[in-house]
Chains A and B, each alone.
Chain A
């Protein structure tokens, strides 16, 4: 009985072959596999595809028991030690890898065609043949058969341990494969703190004071996603789509000041701005879908419909049925959402009000996983951080005060108050970096960027500047500016903590 097809066996052999694997990894550079995977590493692509297919099949259909059988028969070692791949194939792989890596980056199309070429290489067929006649592989097939018959005895501790032992040689590749499915954010500093972007199924939390620049980030992110061809859903619980959000989007897309756009309505804008908007969004305008939760009507027939995450998920499913599949969802913002949920359900959420209820988090987590989306939540920082001067750099405690919800988010970023120069402290309380990140960020108009602030970046001599008076806010001006920003950004106000 042919359990695995020839291609899978070939892939298994490639994966199990230490020489080819190490050659490829050595050439590519283990830590840079991701880069080459998405640019021009066909051999690695083949390895990944084969790896994921084979492992998926093992895990789903045969369970971990197979590994026990393999180890009992000493097949795992044999597989790796066997030299069943013809030298010709090794040479071809090497040639292609070297060609791709020695010179300029070829266009993506060429890279893709090379991948196909490698898959279709005649040598691949030879590998399949070699693998098919390999006695170890035959034994593997028998082991798979046996495993299939004894599926009912799976899930024991021994099976799990055996499984880990089998898969450990591939662990690096699995991690790299997982690493590769990032959703680039389209914002340089956000890419930096997230090591290349979000992953499907992740929940992010961006905290900031009222008027502190959260919407700036949301606008920049959603526009960049649209440009990248990714569908994004923006669920707004507070700001109106027709007004503030649309104006900010137009400002960002056209590069014109928000003052040229605010309160005018699209049709009354300068023809030049209108034209720029249509040109810049041609072909991608429909990528950004908005869901105005302030106008959401609860379905009386659906007891779970509560204007919260369930309602958002419902909308996502409805659009999915129409062929619109989202990669990211923006929830702007949690406090307003919980307020709406409380109003819709008539429940007293005052205790949960400072953050999300467990039920909402559970739904969000389930939605992210099931729909393969990344969800970015925005929320306000605690009172201490809200009322602090811009010189106050938020730290872990400013999000920790929001209860232990940090545990539920994959990335937590906190903004401080902006000073009169639009510079704010930024804290990556939880990011993909080993250390907590503290930087300063400029949030102006619809743009945000890290700035090389005094006191943070070493100068050319390796010394560090002390904080500059330039960033010290003038006490009177600052309060005035801060209050104005808060009023402008938020028609909705409430006390946190």
Chain B
């Protein structure tokens, strides 16, 4: 049975690996292009996309593409992600760094 101590151990393990941001972003590019092609209703697109990839990934992607309005939808999620895992964006390629800086400069950690 799961004990509190075991769970704490899992939690420590969790810190050793973080979300595989580059791979997830690669896939997100595919998902976004395919889903937007398939569904006309933009809300339906986002419903699908959130199942296929994580909201904070979508934020990074849309912010990088300059789609401010779409990025805004996922702003709370990236904020939450960065609070939980402050180094989420640290490993991003150079051109994406500004997104992390921009979010962090907005008053987050």
**Contact of B20 with A by CB under 8 A:** yes
A192-B20, A456-B11, A464-B8 given as contacts; is B1 within 8 A of A39 (CB)? no
Contacts of B23 in A (CB 8 A): 34-35, 182, 191, 195-197
B106 at the A interface (CB under 8 A) = no
Q: CB < 8 Å: which of B25, B35, B66 contacts A35?
A: B25
Complex CA gap A356/B29 in Å reads 37
B45 nearest CB across to chain A (Å): 11
CB pair A455 B38 closer than 8 Å = no
Residues of B1-30 contacting chain A, CB below 8 A: 1-2, 4, 6-8, 10-11, 13-17, 19-20, 22-27, 29-30
Give the docked Cα–Cα distance between A466 and B61 (Å): 34
CA distance A187 to B49 in the complex (A): 9
- Verify B84–A29 contact, CB threshold 8 A: no
Residues of B within 8 A of A455 (CB): 2, 4, 7-8, 10-11
Task: Decide: B65 and A104 in contact? CB cutoff 8 A.
Answer: yes
Interface centre among A192, A435, A460 (most CB of B within 10 A): A192
> Is B93 among interface residues, defined by CB-CB distance under 8 A?
yes
Give A390 Cβ to nearest chain B Cβ, in Å. Answer: 10
A18 adjacent to chain B (CB < 8 Å): no
Any B CB within 8 A of the CB of A280: yes
Partner of A187, one of B4, B14, B19, B51: B51
A188-B54 in contact given A108-B33, A227-B38, A255-B47 (Cβ < 8 Å): yes
Task: Let me know if B29 and A38 touch, CB within 8 A.
Answer: yes
Verify A283–B38 contact, CB threshold 8 A. yes
CB pair B53 A466 closer than 8 Å: no
Within 8 A of A (CB), among B32-57: 33-35, 38-39, 44, 47-48, 50-54
Say yes or no for A409: interface residue by CB 8 A criterion: no
Residues of A near B38 (CB, < 8 A) are 227, 280, 282-284
A310 part of interface (Cβ distance < 8 Å): no
Contact A434 B10 (CB under 8 A): no
A311 at the interface (CB under 8 A from B): no
With known contacts A392-B1, A392-B2, A196–B24 Cβ distance under 8 A:
yes
> Contact string, A143-178, partner B, CB cutoff 8 A, digits 1/0?
000000000000000000000000000000000000
A388 CA to B1 CA, complexed, in Å? 8
- Tell me if B94 is interfacial: C-beta within 8 Å of chain A: yes
B83 at the interface (CB under 8 A from A): yes
Residues of A within 8 A of B10 (CB): 393, 438, 455-456
Report which of A104, A224, A389 forms a contact with B52, defined as CB distance below 8 A: A224
A344 interface hit (Cβ, 8 Å): no
- What's the Cα separation between A20 and B46 when bound, in Å? 40
Q: Are B17 and A38 in contact (CB under 8 A)?
A: no
- Chain B, interface size: which category? 35 or more
- B31 near A433 with CB under 8 A, answer no
What's the Cα separation between A224 and B30 when bound, in Å? 12
* B105 on the A face (CB < 8 A): no
Q: Is A191 a contact of B93 with CB atoms below 8 Å?
A: no
Residue contact A32 to B7, C-beta cutoff 8 Å: no
Tell me if A425 counts as interface (CB < 8 A to partner B).
yes
Given contacts A228-B34, A438-B13, A467-B2, contact A103 B54 (CB under 8 A): no
- Mask: chain A, 445-460; 1 = CB below 8 Å from B; 0 = not: 0010100000111111
Give the chain B neighbours of A392 by CB distance below 8 A: 1-2
The answer to whether A34 and B26 touch across the interface, beta carbons within 8 angstroms, is: yes
Q: Is the CB of B52 within 8 A of A435?
A: no
- On chain B, the residues within 8 Å of A31 by CB distance are 22, 91
- New A-B contacts (11) at CB < 8 Å, excluding given A197-B27, A280-B44, A458-B84: A29-B94, A31-B91, A38-B30, A105-B29, A105-B61, A186-B31, A188-B54, A280-B39, A436-B13, A458-B14, A464-B7
Which A-B residue pairs are the 9 nearest by beta carbons?
A: A196-B23, A184-B27, A455-B7, A464-B11, A35-B22, A438-B10, A29-B93, A393-B2, A32-B22
Interface positions of A (Cβ within 8 A of B): 27-29, 31-32, 34-36, 38-39, 101-105, 108, 182, 184, 186-188, 191-192, 195-197, 220, 224, 227-229, 255, 280, 282-284, 388-389, 391-393, 425, 433-439, 447, 449, 455-460, 464, 466-467
- Which residue numbers of B lie inside 8 Å of A, CB to CB? 1-2, 4, 6-8, 10-11, 13-17, 19-20, 22-27, 29-31, 33-35, 38-39, 44, 47-48, 50-54, 61, 64-66, 83-84, 91-95
